[in-house]
């Protein structure tokens, strides 16, 4: 599982999270990517000034599960509908984290 807490202005951390997701997909591991806290802003339409990061995010969303903690509705913007984000609660996040052998946080 990849947990993204960094906002879109922290492009280095977000890019590393998305690269890890791509690497996992390359090895036929389907990661769950969960955006929480400031990371939810990465899911807003046109969140990144760098179009390459937006492409990485879209590719990851096309191939992996993308979730956002339900407080995402309060993050100050609309989530990009093309990403197919699944809103989950904190209890769901805890359950998901128990199912994975490792959780990488960015």
Q: Does the pLDDT of residue 105 top 60, yes or no? A: yes
CATH of the domain at 42: 3.40.1260.10
Question: How many folded domains does the chain comprise?
Answer: 1
- The Cα–Cα gap between 72 and 98 comes to 22
- Write down the pTM of the prediction: 0.90
**Which tokens hold the place of 70?**
């339900």
- The Cα–Cα gap between 38 and 93 comes to 16
Q: Which domain holds residue 36?
A: 2-105
φ/ψ (deg, to 5) at 70: -55, -20
Over residues 12-46, the pLDDT tens digits come to 999 999 999 999 999 998 899 999 999 999 999 88
- Decide: 55 and 82 in contact? Cβ < 8 Å: no
Q: Does the pLDDT of residue 68 top 90, yes or no? A: yes
Side-chain-facing half-sphere of 59: CA atoms under 13 Å: 17
């Amino acid at each position: 599982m990849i947990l993204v807490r960094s906002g879109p202005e922290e492009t280095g951390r977000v890019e590393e999270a998305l690269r890890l997701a791509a690497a996992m997909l390359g090895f036929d591991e389907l990661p769950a990517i969960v955006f929480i806290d400031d990371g939810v802003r990465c899911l807003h339409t046109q969140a990144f000034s760098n179009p390459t990061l937006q492409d990485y995010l879209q590719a990851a969303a096309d191939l992996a599960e993308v979730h956002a903690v339900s407080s995402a509705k309060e993050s100050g913007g609309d989530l990009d509908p093309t990403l197919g984000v699944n809103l989950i609660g904190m209890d769901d996040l805890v359950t998901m984290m128990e199912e994975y052998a490792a959780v990488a946080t960015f």
